[in-house]
Structure 1
Amino acid sequence: MPSASAPAPARWRRALVPVLLGAALAACSARPTPPAPALAADGVPESRPGWAIGYLPDAAVPDSLALLPPPPSGEAAALDQARMQAALALHGTPRFAQAAVDAELQFPQAAPLFACALGVEIDLQHTPATWRLLRRSLADASRSTRKAKDHYKRPRPFLANHAPTCTPQDEARLAHSGSYPSGHTAIGTLWSLVLAQAAPGHSDALLARGRAFGESRVVCNVHWTSDVVEGRFMGMATFARLQAEPAFQADLAAARRELAAARAAGRVPQRDCAAEAAVLQVAANPG
């Protein structure tokens, strides 16, 4: 008499389901946790040596492709050309040399770029939170410009006018990097805003320094004026978004305290601030 029970293959399949499900769950639970970001010697998290990890998760980084118009054409592009011709006259002057100084974004060289405007020397030993703010926010501002850069691939000015730049060692790399918008300007604008937030008594000087930092890119012959203008916008957009990040706010609060302490201790900038101010009065008029 035939058995009323299910055929053997069906019974095996039913018996195997919980076994396989349990194995799958065990495999998931055993999956290793992604390693924490490596910390550099200065305590800043890095994705690889020399490349800091910003405060913003990928989804929170402002989208330059969505926020910015296309690069200018027609009369607006002609205005870029005219302004660049004016900037080329500064080659070989102290303002051109300052543009080369402003091009350096590696640390520790970049740490004191805003020291004169801030009135305090920035270094790892005495102002570690401020150092961390600058390094990590640099990564956020830089990422904010990448989508538009990669999409439009606007050629750099020196490729059009064949004049020297202030950083000839970078020209091979820059030739393959989109000019619009200016990443350096986004970074300098963001730094000026962050430092002004940490030291509001110096906000005018800091914001003026941020403006000059962007102008240096035109003087250097590596960005058009419109690149600088929209780079400022991306720096402001990144600054606005950073306000919602707890890690940023924690470093900002620590920076306020340490900058006040450094100012009280007389830790003044270790450079000729009067000479720097005189040089920065010469502008490329980027609008």
Structure 2
Amino acid sequence: MGRGFPHGRAWRGGTRGIVGACVLMGGIAAGASPGWAHRAAPPPPGPALPDGRIFLPPPPPAETAGSAADASIFADTRVLENSERWKLAQRDARHGVGHMLAAFSCAAGFTLTPAHLPHLEALLSRMEARVEPVIEQEKAQWNRPRPYSAIELPLCVAERGEVARTPSYPSAYATLGWITGSVLSDILPERTAQIMQRARVYGESRVICGVHWRSDVTAGWMNGAVLYTAMRQEADFARELDAARTEVANLRDHPPAHVTPPDRGECAQEEDAAAHTPQ
């Protein structure tokens, strides 16, 4: 599949019609996706965050190399249905800060149990509340349809309903995953490489799922990096991060007896996923 998956050439050869339709969908102009309206949200507490409508590049227009690459990757990754990578993408698709935090356990080197990390979970929840309105504005700006909006191909989650009517660019999951990785890297700097690798894989799971184009995810990574940099400069952030750092160190050094180490099989899945990026 591309360079990462061995069956990609045969699959691509049999999906020219699908790829062509995907390219068309990927380049539909703003205002063309059905049924989505921007939901007004109250201004989040804290200083205004950087406006991604300014610093993010626009998604690839129709009939460009970037749009064709997005469509090809979407088509190629459909053959992963029911594979181990598919199952990892399904785990990564679970909603909630607690699930996202736990997903970084292998990368951290010990089990991150939200019940033992209330300060960290609260910090991530506040950051999510800060960035969600920003992401909604960004999505409304480009109003890009999801890859599966007009084409029935396998998805790793049942998201063809309301989510299908929400814009695709940039990926909120990739944005929040990158922010989570950045927080954990500040807390566990010796594990930065492993943690940010997991943040990458977490975003790529959205491509494997078929709910985002590849360029939605790369934009999400940029989005997360810029928004985290801004929030990290705020007055209360250092205090909140210190509280989270203390409880993470306590959990690492004194794990409760009932907390088991990260599952080796799941860790192996994550390592394999990191070596086979969808491209």
TM-score (normalised: structure 2): 0.76
In structure 1, the residue matched to 2:49 is 61
Aligned-partner residue type, residue 245 of structure 1:
E
Query: 1:151 deviation in Å?
Result: 1.8
Larger radius of gyration: 1
1:237 alignment partner, SS class: helix
Query: 1:119 deviation in Å?
Result: 2.5
Aligned-partner Cα distance in 1 for 2:140–2:86: 28
Q: What's the CA shift string for 1:101-146, capped at 9, x where partnerless?
A: 1112325444412122113333354221111122222223433322
2:116 alignment partner, SS class: coil
In structure 2, the residue matched to 1:180 is 169
Aligned-partner Cα distance in 2 for 1:81–1:101: 24
Distance verdict in 2 for CA 1:185–1:107, change over 3 Å? closer
In structure 1, the residue matched to 2:156 is 166
Aligned-partner Cα distance in 1 for 2:252–2:198: 19
In structure 2, the residue matched to 1:100 is 90
Aligned-partner Cα distance in 2 for 1:62–1:286: 29
2:110 alignment partner, SS class: coil
Identity %: 30
Query: 1:263 deviation in Å?
Result: 1.1
In structure 1, the residue matched to 2:227 is 238
Distance verdict in 2 for CA 1:272–1:107, change over 3 Å? same
Aligned-partner Cα distance in 2 for 1:276–1:125: 21
Q: How many residues align?
A: 233
Q: What's the CA shift string for 1:170-193, capped at 9, x where partnerless?
A: 321211110001010000011001
Aligned-partner Cα distance in 2 for 1:114–1:152: 31
In the alignment, structure 1 residue 222 sits paired with structure 2 residue 211: yes
Contact 2:105–2:262 (Cα < 8 Å) also in 1: no
In structure 2, the residue matched to 1:201 is 190
1:266 alignment partner, SS class: coil
The root-mean-square deviation of aligned C-alpha atoms, in Å, is: 2.3
2:161 alignment partner, SS class: helix
Aligned-partner residue type, residue 132 of structure 2:
S
Contact 2:142–2:169 (Cα < 8 Å) also in 1: yes
TM-score (normalised: structure 1): 0.74
Query: 1:243 deviation in Å?
Result: 1.4
Q: What's the CA shift string for 1:239-279, capped at 9, x where partnerless?
A: 10011222322110111111111111035964643212222
2:153 alignment partner, SS class: coil
Aligned-partner Cα distance in 2 for 1:124–1:272: 14
Aligned-partner residue type, residue 285 of structure 1:
T
Distance verdict in 2 for CA 1:134–1:196, change over 3 Å? same
In structure 2, the residue matched to 1:130 is 120
Distance verdict in 2 for CA 1:61–1:98, change over 3 Å? same
| Matches for 1:81-120 after TM superposition, within 5 Å | 81-120=71-110
2:71 alignment partner, SS class: helix
Aligned-partner residue type, residue 140 of structure 1:
R
Distance verdict in 2 for CA 1:208–1:124, change over 3 Å? closer
Unaligned 5+ residue runs, structure 2?
Answer: 1-41
Contact 1:55–1:140 (Cα < 8 Å) also in 2: yes
Aligned-partner Cα distance in 2 for 1:181–1:271: 34
Contact 1:60–1:241 (Cα < 8 Å) also in 2: no
Range with bigger deviation, 59-68 or 194-203: 59-68
In the alignment, structure 1 residue 285 sits paired with structure 2 residue 243: no
Unaligned 5+ residue runs, structure 1?
Answer: 1-52
Aligned-partner residue type, residue 74 of structure 2:
M
Distance verdict in 2 for CA 1:217–1:54, change over 3 Å? farther
Q: What's the CA shift string for 1:37-70, capped at 9, x where partnerless?
A: xxxxxxxxxxxxxxxx99853x522212111122
Aligned-partner Cα distance in 2 for 1:148–1:78: 22
Contact 1:122–1:131 (Cα < 8 Å) also in 2: no
In the alignment, structure 1 residue 265 sits paired with structure 2 residue 257: no
Query: 1:216 deviation in Å?
Result: 0.1
